[in-house]
Amino acid sequence: MDSYLLDWANLLLRWLHVITAIAWVGSSFYFVFLDSSLTPPVDEDLKKQGVSGELWAVHGGGFYHPVKFAVSPPQLPGHLHWFYWESYTTWMSGFALLTVSYLWNASTYLVDRNLVDWSAGAAVAAALGFLVVFWIAYDAICRLFGEREGGDGLVGALVAVLVVAAAWLACQLFPGRAAFLVVGAMIATSMTANVAMWIIPGQRKMVAALREGRPIDPVHGKRGKQRSVHNTYFTLPVLLAMLSNHYSFLWTHPHNWVVLVLLMAAGAAIRQFFVLRHGWKLGRNANPLPYALVGVALIVATAAWLKPAPPAAQPAAAVPATVGYAQLQPVLAQRCYLCHGAQVQMKNVRLDSPESVRQHAASIHQQVVVAKLMPMNNATGITDAERALVDAWFRGGAKVD
């Protein structure tokens, strides 16, 4: 029953997380597009009001005319829309999902004793440490170098080095699937911290100054813009890390940290293409197509690198021509019952009866033979010969009688 309720919690939290992430990423992408697409105002009245850019757009049968004020509007409206709950709710639902999916079962999902022989509690502390330490280091880089003249390039380079180091360390400490997710959660935490610690507080100070008739310190806008730009380039790498748990060929590679870094770099390059593309159409910068080509080239190169080698020929006598349930059951008992037996039913799956094995035959083959995800981190030590036996049983009709 506990496993069943945990599955429901996982489903509902994942659903909420995807919904709020769509809202956050959508609003973020829109405002980046808006900033890149603004043109100087034509109307003299807009110029007198301090408008620095405008955009005409058509959508859903109506015309829209957003404008941007260089520092502040002449007068604040009674209602001002803030963009922060999309970010906060995405992070809270994501952290809750991380807790339910990984931290709650840390001994299964965060511990691979072939990498580090430590307790579940230590693994949880290390995973949470990644979220905290990365933010502290990233924030320090931005504080120290971000406001210097021409410091954006240095900040970008240092943050890239920090991400690479974190990816390498995570893959030395955690199983591949967990390592990718921890790195994604680490960057996502810094994205929300940017909103909570810099962007929104700076905007509140600007609004307070306007309401009180005081001059606005432009540094708040500069800092908020800097962190917002960082979030833009973080977005596609984070999404890649979050989706990667469905694709074992990425994180089971011996050099999985390199795979993660290459694909995250591809995502950042492709995002750069889209950011610059809007300004390029207005003649503000060179054609950004090379960024897209670099991103695509990184993906293609990674795919070629990860291409599996042809399977080695198996000796004819290695696996019986016909494998029945009587030969399969001892393998299941030794390798699978620990998590899918009478005492524990991970994912609400039991494999200790012929009927349940018949019901889950396709999943057994997919998880054990094709993806090689099960047993988790190969905790029970299944051998290649046993996987071949499962394969022969499935291809022979998955009979249980």
Q: How much is the mean pLDDT over the chain?
A: 89
What pLDDT is stored for residue 144 in this prediction?
93
- Residue 1 pLDDT: 47
Contact (CB, 8 A) for 26 and 87? no
| Mean pLDDT computed over 119-141 | 97
Q: Which residue has the higher pLDDT, 372 or 39?
A: 39
CA dist., res. 20 & res. 25, Å (int): 9
pLDDT band at residue 401 using 50, 70 and 90 as cut-offs: confident
Tokens representing residue 373 in the block: 């995800």
What's the whole-number mean pLDDT along residues 221-237? 92
Q: Is the per-residue pLDDT at 58 higher than 60?
A: yes
Lowest mean pLDDT among 71-75, 133-137, 343-347: 343-347
Mean pLDDT of 194-201: 95
In tens, the pLDDT along 134-183 reads 999 999 999 999 888 878 899 999 999 999 999 999 999 999 999 999 99
pTM reported for the whole predicted model: 0.84
- Average pLDDT for residues 21-37, to the nearest whole number? 91
pLDDT value at residue 369: 86
Residue 371 has pLDDT above 90, yes or no: no
The tokens for 197 are 């610690």
b/e 251-277 (16+ beta carbons within 10 angstroms → b): bbbeebbbbbbbbbbbbbbbbbbbbbb
Model confidence at 64: pLDDT above 80: yes
Distances (CA, A) of 393 to 107, 331, 333, 359, 362: 31, 12, 16, 14, 11
Q: How far apart are CA 14 and CA 242, in angstroms?
A: 11
pLDDT tens, position by position, 282-336: 777 788 999 999 999 999 999 999 998 776 555 544 666 688 888 888 888 888 8
* pLDDT(113) > 80: yes
Higher per-residue confidence, 315 vs 67: 67
Q: What is the pLDDT of residue 93?
A: 96
pLDDT on residue 129: 97
What gap in Å lies between CA 134 and CA 190, rounded to an integer? 8
